[in-house]
Amino acid sequence: MKIAQAMVLAAGLGTRLRPITDTMPKPLVPVAGKAMIDYALDALADAGVRRAVVNVHHFADQMEMHLKAYPRLEVAISDERAGLMNSGGGLAKGVRLLDRAPLFVMNADLFWVGEKSGQPTNLERLAAFFDPAVMDMALLCVPLERTTGHNGKKDFELDEYGHLTRYRDGAQPLVYAGAIAMHASLLDDAPHDAFNLNLYFDKAIAAGRLYGLVLEGHWLTVGTPDALVEAEEALSRLHAEA
C-alpha cells in the first residue's frame, strides 16, 4: 500500500526537557544539529509522503515558521493554541485536514537511524504491512535493547500472527516506536474533546485488530536534558559504526 499523507503529533509542552523548552518547543530542540521534528518529517518524505498535518501549541509561532520553511513536504497546521487535545484528540482534529484515506501518524520527538541502504524504509515496510481489512492500526515497534533514552517501560508483545497485546510476560518485550499506519475513517467516532490515543489501541486489541511490525535499526527518544546527551552520543557512535 502507498501512503501519501501523515499526521505529526507535535503540540506537547516538553516539560521534562526544561529548561531547554522554556524558550523553544520540544520538536525544534536540535539533536546532533538537526531539529527533532525534522527526523520525522524526513522519514515521511523518504517514504513518499507528500502532505503532512502538524499540530502546534507550545511556542506555536516558532513551529509555524520552521514548518513553513521545511522544503520536502506540504505542511498544514492544526492549531491547538486554544487548548491541548492530548494525543488522540489532537490526531482526531488533525485528520480532518487530510483525505479520507490511509495515513501515517508520527510523534515529533521519536526517531530512528540505521535503516539499510537500498532497502525499503521502516515507514515503507509499515505501509506495505498495513491491511485495513484486518487491522485497525499497524504500529512500528522496537525491542527494548535497541533503544536509547527510553524509560524502560515495556509496551507490547507480539504473537506469531503479528497481533499486538499489552506486555505481560512475553519473551520479547516491545516499545512503541511512535509510528502508526491507519485509515482516517477509524476516527469517525472519536470524541471531540481531549483524549489519549491509548483508547484506540485498547479498542483494537480487544477486537484483535492491533498489529505490529518490528523496526529495523536503532530508536531514540529525547525526553530529558540527560537523554539529549545520550541521543547525541548514540548517534555519533552509530554513524561511526555504519
Question: Which CATH number goes with the domain that contains 122?
Answer: 3.90.550.10
Pick out the chain residues at pLDDT < 70: 151-152, 170-171, 239-242
Q: What is the tally of structural domains in the chain?
A: 1
Helix, strand, coil tally for the chain in percent (to 5): 35, 25, 40
Strands (E) across the chain are located at: 5-9, 30-31, 34-35, 51-56, 74-79, 102-107, 110-113, 137-143, 147-148, 156-158, 164-166, 174-183, 210-214, 218-221
Q: For position 86, what pLDDT does the model report? A: 94
Residue 8: burial class (beta carbons within 10 Å; 0-12, 13-18, 19+): buried
**Partner residues linked to 76 by β-bridges:** 53
Q: For position 242, what pLDDT does the model report? A: 56
The answer for residues whose C-beta is within 8 angstroms of residue 36's C-beta and 6 or more apart is 26, 27, 28, 29, 30, 108, 109, 111, 222
Is it true that the peptide bond before 19 is cis, omega within 30 degrees of 0? yes
Tens digit of each residue's pLDDT (9 = 90 or more) over 56-106? 999 999 999 999 999 999 999 999 999 999 999 999 999 999 999 999 999
Q: For position 241, what pLDDT does the model report? A: 64
Q: At how many degrees (to 10) do helices 122-129 and 36-46 cross?
A: 50
Which cell numbers hold the place of 150? 527510553
Q: For position 149, what pLDDT does the model report? A: 73
Residue-number span of the structural domain to which 23 is assigned: 5-241
pTM for this model (two decimals): 0.92
Q: For position 169, what pLDDT does the model report? A: 79
Give CA torsion, residues 199, 204, 207, 208, to 10 deg. -140
Please list the alpha-helical segments (H only) found in 101-171. 122-129
